[in-house]
Structure formats: structure tokens, C-alpha cells
């Protein structure tokens, strides 16, 4: 039976930005509100976020981290304690100036991030090396007054997690910084089926207040990069102004070493832009709210009984299953679940019952299988595993095809103005050369990869001796 094409979706190859907006609306992921720059995260998107949260939270706890919750308000005097940090966030800060009708004695910042709150907390509760490490994380929302907003990618309020830890030694803190970046890498590659590049940000692009920042970069379908998670090593840059001290093993006062790391609902944007197609979302099985939908073609007694029986067998296998026995047309149902990106669709009609079989359809490539009813549960499990693998391999191939090695600026320009992607090129370390690259379609350095290739001896911009190989790209 033919799929009813949703004509409300613009082709991604015609207008990628409009395609993205159409998917967000038609899949009921977000709804625009009367609060400018903010969105309603609709139930389906929130279910995706919950699955992401559950995966991450489990990994956090397995590595010894605990959840807590900080206030959403930060006194101005507290925010101002670390100058570099406050300067970096000042343009995006929202302020509370009144409580009811009364003007506050001190302005309160609505948290754009919670470093200062954690620092204030740690300065009071950490007294001895025996109190360390403190491995805390919080799930919350933050507010950043973005000028230009897009659902999930940039909104003035968004959901995220932020981990903040303090340690006895620099070595422990740096190990934490890299360990958490590997947690995010595992999430993206093993659960979201999104290949990523990890590495260190340049001095110019690091987080405000950090000694250095590690970044996870993913390429979207249109060749644009999305910074999807970060992990920061602070060293003692916050410890001194916030007086976070402890008595060490030699009975002497020392300052703690600190980290911070986080990711947000921006991940949902990456799922849309990496895997989605012109029929809607395509969700990897490990993160999809429902992995299988069982659809009745006609609602007679035998069909409905088979729907329930198959649904139960799949649920007993531990799969997330839903059924649709509504009186909507079969074509409408197929299109609806294609839009939602459910990995596997099972179709059952009277003729299927007679033949003791069902039709299985993969969302990732549309392939159909006719399977005996007795074999449905095992076949679906097999398909889900293959879909997860194939989605990753497809995204990896796309990333590899749009990753270019360049030695001249002319090469970079030709690529970025025709078929953009990641550019691998050598860099001398001078921020002025970064700014020069930015003149080409707003490109920025993405990261210095942990394993650098030697492309040439010279900086692609100025020709001087190169220090690093960088990934460059246009960013969301």
C-alpha cells in the first residue's frame, strides 16, 4: 500500500532550514509560544529527551556521580567573582530586578550556567582532602538571552545537565575532564548513531573561565557542524576567587581543582538533522520512545487479536511497543509513524492472518519483509539491531564524504561555498589566522583532534610553521 506523502514538509535538499522547521512542527516536537525565544517541548520530544537523560544518568551514576539541584538565581556579586567567566556570559544574562513591587537590593541573574553557585557551595562544604572528590551533576534549565533562536538549537531557555566536580589534584581533575568527554562520545555513537569528532578547543573558542575545553563535534546532513557536548578543565581558576580550599594530607591549605561538563536538548536538533529525511524523523532504536508500532489494516476480531498477541510478545522481549487500531486509513497511519521516525512498523490485515504472516517495514531504508507470525518477535529484534548499526554507518559515511583535507585558502573557499563540511587544515596557533578563516562563510575552528594528522608543515592562512591540525567548519 502506498505511503501518503506529507506535502507539508519541504525537501531538505531544497531548503534545509525550512525542512528542519517543518519536521519540528509536523512531528510535534516543539510549539512556538507567546514567550519570545522560548518553546514548548512537546510530549514526543520530551520522551526522546527522557530516554537520553536515562542513558546519561545511568552512566553518570555508574562512574560515581550524584545528582543535586541548585537555585536558579545567582546574586550579581557572586557572578562577578570570576572576571573572565562573567565577561563571557554578560551579553546573554537575564536579570531579576524586582520582587513583587519592591526593587531588589541586589540584582539576581537567572542562571546561564551554575559554576558560581557550585563554587559557593563547595567553598562551604569542602574542608579536608577527605571530603574530595565531589562528583555532582544537576538536571535543570538555564536561560541565555539569545538574539536569534531556533527550536532545540538555540532558545532562551533550554533543558540540560551540567556536571561540576572538585578534586584533590590536577591529575584527578584532568582525568575527569577526559572521562566525561568519553561518556558523551559513547552516548552519541552507541545510542544516537551519530559519529563525532572529539578534541580540544582553541584558546579563542574555549569556555569562559576554563583552562581548556574539550568538545564533541557532529556533522549535520547539510555539512554544518553542531557543537553537541563540552567538558571543561578549570584547574584552580575559580578556586582562588571563591576560596575553595582544603587541608591536604600534609596538613597544609590547598586550592581544589575543578571541572565542568554538559549537554542539552540541542541533541534533539542533532537527531533531526543527522538522520531525518523528507518523510520526517528517523530515530535510532536505542533512543526512540517507541521502537515498534503494530498497525491493523482492518479491525476485524482476528486482526485485533493478532495485534494484541504480537504486541505482547514484543513487549515480553523488552521492546517499547505501541499499537494503532484506530479507524484512520492505513496510508495515513503509515505516514504518521514515518513522521515520528519509529524504527519498525508491523502491518497486519485479514489476508495476513489467513497466510499466518505479517509485513515488517524498516523506517531507515523502507525495506519490507514478509515474516511468519511465529517469527515476528525474533525478526524484529534482529532488525532493530541492524537498523542501529546501519544508521551509524550511513551517518559515518556522510561525515567522511564531507570531510576535506586542504592546504590552501582557495581550496577551502571552493568547498565551503559549494558543498560545506569539515575542513582539516594546519594552523600556526595565532588567533588572527582563526579570524581570517572566519571570513570564509563564518567558519570557525571546531577542535584540535586528540590524534592530529600531519598535513603539511605550514599554516594554511599565513604560511608560518604549523603547530596543530585543526578541524574547521560552519557552525549552528
**pLDDT tens digit string along 30-72?**
999 999 999 999 999 999 999 999 999 999 999 999 999 999 9
Question: Spelled out in words, what is the top-level CATH class assigned to the domain 403-473?
Answer: alpha beta
CA distance 390 to 277: 15
- Is the CB of residue 350 less than 8 Å from the CB of residue 298? yes
Cα separation, 287 vs 269, whole angstroms? 14
Tell me which residue of 315, 319, 316 sits closest to 388, measured CA to CA: 319
- How confident is the model over 205-239, as pLDDT tens digits? 999 889 999 999 999 999 999 999 999 999 999 99
Which one is predicted more confidently, 258 or 88?
258
Contacts of 40 (CB under 8 A, 6+ apart): 30, 31, 32, 33
Element (H, E) at 49: helix 43-62
CATH 3.40.50.800 fits 292-384, yes or no: yes
Average of per-residue pLDDT across 314-332: 95
Q: Are 270 and 220 in contact (CB under 8 A)?
A: yes
Task: Give the integer Cα–Cα distance in Å for 38 and 32.
Answer: 7
Cα–Cα distance for residue pair 171/236, rounded to 1 Å? 12
Residue 1 has pLDDT above 80, yes or no: no
pLDDT score for 89? 78
For residue 5, what pLDDT is reported? 52
Is the pLDDT assigned to residue 6 strictly greater than 70?
no
Please report, for the chain, the start and end positions of each structural domain, with discontinuous segments joined by +.
28-275, 292-384, 403-473
Strand 321-324 versus strand 344-348 pairing type: unpaired
What is the overall mean pLDDT for the chain?
96
The full length of the chain comes to 476
pLDDT for 115 beyond 80: yes
> Closest Cα to residue 302, out of 350, 358, 351?
350
What tens digit of pLDDT does each residue of 358-385 get?
999 999 999 999 999 999 999 999 999 9
CB neighbour list of residue 247: distance below 8 Å, 6 or more residues apart: 127, 128, 129, 253, 254
Measured distance CA(213)–CA(35) in Å, rounded: 32
User: What does pTM read for this prediction?
Assistant: 0.95
Q: What are phi and psi of 236, to 5 degrees?
A: -115, 20
The span from the CA of 84 to the CA of 208, in Å, is: 6
CATH 3.40.50.720, applies to 28-275: no
Task: Tell me whether strands 292-296 and 344-348 are parallel, antiparallel or unpaired.
Answer: parallel
The pLDDT confidence band at residue 4, using thresholds 50, 70 and 90, is very low
Under the banding of pLDDT at 50, 70 and 90, the label for residue 3 is very low
Asked if residue 398 has pLDDT above 80, the reply is yes
pLDDT, tens only, 263-281:
999 999 999 999 999 999 9
Query: Span 301-318, mean pLDDT?
Result: 96
Closest to 333 measured CA to CA, from 349, 319, 354 = 349
Max Cα–Cα distance, the chain, nearest Å:
82
Q: Under a CB-based contact definition with an 8 Å cutoff, are residues 213 and 236 in contact?
A: no
3-state secondary structure of 137: strand
DSSP letter, residue 243: T
CB 153 within 8 A of CB 266: yes
* Residue-wise DSSP of 379-446: HHHHHHHHHHHHHHHHHHHHHHHTEEE-SSHHHHHHHHTTS--EEEEEE-S-HHHHHHHHTTTT-EEE
Distance of CA 105 to the CA centre of its chain: 39
Is residue 76 scored above 90 in pLDDT? yes
pLDDT (tens digit per residue) in 135-156 = 999 999 999 999 999 999 999 9
Amino acid at each position: 500500500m502506498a505511503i501518503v506523502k506529507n506535502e507539508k514538509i519541504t525537501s531538505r535538499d531544497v531548503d534545509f532550514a525550512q525542512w528542519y522547521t517543518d519536521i519540528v512542527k509536523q512531528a510535534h516536537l516543539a510549539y512556538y509560544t507567546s514567550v519570545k525565544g522560548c518553546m514548548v517541548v512537546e510530549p514526543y520530544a520530551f520522551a526522546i529527551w527522557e530516554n537520553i537523560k536515562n542513558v546519561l544518568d545511568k552512566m553518570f551514576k555508574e562512574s560515581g556521580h550524584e545528582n543535586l539541584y541548585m537555585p536558579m538565581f545567582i546574586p550579581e556579586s557572586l557572578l562577578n567573582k570570576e572576571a573572565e567567566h562573567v565577561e563571557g556570559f554578560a551579553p546573554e544574562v537575564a536579570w531579576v530586578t524586582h520582587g513583587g513591587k519592591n526593587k531588589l537590593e541586589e540584582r539576581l541573574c537567572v542562571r546561564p550556567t551554575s559554576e558560581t553557585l557550585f563554587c559557593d557551595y563547595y567553598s562551604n562544604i569542602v574542608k579536608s582532602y577527605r571530603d574530595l572528590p565531589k562528583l555532582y551533576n544537576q538536571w535543570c534549565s538555564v536561560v541565555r538571552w539569545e538574539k536569534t533562536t531556533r527550536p532545540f538549537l538555540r532558545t532562551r531557555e533550554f533543558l540540560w545537565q551540567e556536571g561540576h566536580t572538585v578534586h584533590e589534584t590536577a591529575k584527578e581533575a584532568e582525568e575527569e575532564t577526559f572521562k566525561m568527554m568519553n561518556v558523551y562520545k559513547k552516548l552519541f555513537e552507541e545510542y544516537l548513531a551519530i559519529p563525532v569528532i572529539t578534541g580540544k578547543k582553541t584558546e579563542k573558542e574555549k569556555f569562559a573561565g576554563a583552562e581548556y575545553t574539550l568538545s564533541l563535534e557532529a556533522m549535520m546532513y547539510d555539512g554544518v557542524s553542531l557543537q553537541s557536548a563540552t567538558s571543561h578543565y578549570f584547574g584552580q581558576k575559580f578556586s582562588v576567587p571563591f576560596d575553595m580550599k582544603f587541608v591536604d594530607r600534609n596538613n597544609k591549605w590547598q586550592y581544589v581543582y575543578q571541572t565542568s561538563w554538559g549537554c542539552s536538548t540541542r541533541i534533539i536538533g542533532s537527531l533531526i538533522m543527522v538522520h531525518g529525511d523528507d518523510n520526517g524523523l528517523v530515530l535510532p532504536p536505542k533512543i526512540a520512545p517507541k521502537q515498534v508500532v503494530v498497525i491493523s489494516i482492518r479491525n476485524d476480531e482476528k486482526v485485533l487479536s493478532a495485534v494484541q498477541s504480537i504486541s505482547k510478545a514484543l513487549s515480553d522481549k523488552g521492546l517499547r511497543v505501541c499499537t494503532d487500531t484506530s479507524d484512520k486509513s492505513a496510508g495515513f497511519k503509515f505516514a504518521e509513524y514515518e513522521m515520528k521516525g519509529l524504527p519498525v512498523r508491523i502491518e497486519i490485515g485479514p489476508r495476513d492472518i489467513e497466510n499466518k504472516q505479517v509485513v515488517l517495514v524498516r523506517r531507515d531504508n523502507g525495506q519490507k519483509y514478509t515474516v511468519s507470525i511465529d517469527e515476528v518477535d525474533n525478526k524484529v529484534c534482529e532488525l532493530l539491531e541492524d537498523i542501529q548499526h546501519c544508521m551509524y554507518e550511513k551517518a559515518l559515511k556522510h561525515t567522511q564524504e564531507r570531510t576535506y583535507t586542504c592546504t590552501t585558502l582557495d581550496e577551502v573557499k571552493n568547498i565551503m561555498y559549494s558543498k560545506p563540511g569539515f575542513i582539516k587544515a594546519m594552523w600556526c596557533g595565532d588567533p588572527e589566522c582563526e579570524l581570517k578563516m572566519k571570513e570564509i562563510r563564518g567558519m570557525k575552528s571546531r577542535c584540535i583532534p586528540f590524534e592530529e594528522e600531519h598535513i603539511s608543515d605550514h599554516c594554511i592562512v599565513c604560511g608560518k610553521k604549523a603547530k596543530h591540525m585543526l578541524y574547521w567548519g560552519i557552525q549552528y
